[in-house]
Amino acid sequence: MLAYLIRRLLYAVPILIGVNLITFALFFVVNTPDDMARMQLGVKRVTPEAIERWKAERGYDKPLFINPAATGSAVFTDTIFFAKSARMFAADFGRAEDGRDIAREIVSRMGPSLAIALPTFILGLLVTVSFALLLTFFRASYLDFWGVVLCVAMMSISGLFYIIGGQYLVSKLWRLVPISGYGGGLEAWKFLILPVLIGVISGIGSSTRWYRTIFLEEISKDYVRTARAKGLAEAAVLFRHVLQNAMIPILTGVVVVIPLLFMGSLLTESFFGIPGLGSYTIDAINAQDFAVVRAMVFIGSVLYIVGLILTDLSYTLVDPRIRFQ
């Protein structure tokens, strides 16, 4: 089992390198730094000097891969690829357009992101799994039918409307909580409760339906019939037998997103004005801050790969077949 995990870890290395190469190609090969400079400076101010200055300020004035002018190892290190891409492995993301250090910014913004994403995730999982269990328990009844109809209807509504509608109802009409903003300390819950609630509700439709499908698939298996033949009550069958087996496919989809919770949610954070990584990304996109977007892409991939490894690890907890091999 250890060998299995180490192999999974080692497999992450070429994938990270691949991600790094893809982002590099996307940011520096599709468009040259000159193009980016022209775009950023706007039509009026474009002069060759302005472009050169723009590039020099950001370190984009070097060759892409090999610097023939340099000596020694600097042939490879004094290049855009090394400075902008390879150094991301050392958590060095450079500076944003406003001159701040991206790495520091990211660390400080993780907190607010997590403060929303983590409760949303946990609460959402509890609600949807319970709802799906309820539907499974009453399968092929009217409750199940209308539950599924509700789920399909809910998943047909864009996430934007959940946020807009929630803000309008709760904050504007009923004036229960502030419409947006973020505060530290104990007061934070006022700002958090609405985005978390909306996050949970907007996820109910698709997740419940997915879990219900998994439960129904499990419930048609032979061992469930055995459990019933033992004289167990339907609830015991569902909780003791079906739920445990269904954990395996559920974990595949769930564990992988846990590390990504650090990244926050683009929509929620920008609507509610929460200074997390999601709104950071959106601001960077709108300001066309390439350095920040590049850093976020890389961090996102790292977190996803961590999620994959965690998934493998979690299998060993719920699936004895993997634990003992």
What are the tokens at 157?
A: 């509504």
Residue 187 in contact with another protein, rule: CB under 8 A: no
Site string for another protein, 55-84 (x = CB under 8 A): ------------------------------
CB under 8 A: which stretch of 53-61, 73-81, 89-97, 149-157 binds another protein? 149-157
Query: C-beta of 275: minimal distance to another protein in Å?
Result: 17
What are the tokens at 12?
A: 């992450």
Residue 26 in contact with another protein, rule: CB under 8 A: yes
Query: C-beta of 278: minimal distance to another protein in Å?
Result: 9
Residue 320 in contact with another protein, rule: CB under 8 A: yes
CB under 8 A: which stretch of 63-71, 96-104, 121-129, 297-305 binds another protein? 297-305
DSSP 83-135: IIIGGGGGT---B-TTS-BHHHHHHHHHHHHHHHHHHHHHHHHHHHHHHHHHH
Single out the residue of 49, 68, 156, 185 in contact with another protein (rule: CB under 8 A): 156
3-state secondary structure of 95: strand
Residue 313 in contact with another protein, rule: CB under 8 A: no
Task: Give just the sign of the alpha carbon dihedral 121, 125, 131, 132.
Answer: positive
Residue 38 is classified by DSSP as: H
Q: At what angle do helices 188-219 and 102-137 cross, to 10 degrees?
A: 50
**Neighbour tally for 93: CB within 10 Å:** 22
CA 144, CA 146: separation in Å to the nearest integer?
6
Query: C-beta of 182: minimal distance to another protein in Å?
Result: 19
**Which lies closer to another protein via its Cβ, residue 106 or residue 296?**
296
Site string for another protein, 252-281 (x = CB under 8 A): --------x--x--xx--x----------x
Instruction: Return the residues of window 200-239 that contact another protein according to CB under 8 A.
Output: 220-223, 225-233, 236
Residue 185 in contact with another protein, rule: CB under 8 A: no
Please, are residues 160 and 166 in contact by the beta-carbon 8 Å criterion?
Answer: no
Instruction: Return the residues of window 100-139 that contact another protein according to CB under 8 A.
Output: 139
3-state secondary structure of 98: coil
Residue in the block written with tokens 């600097």: 74
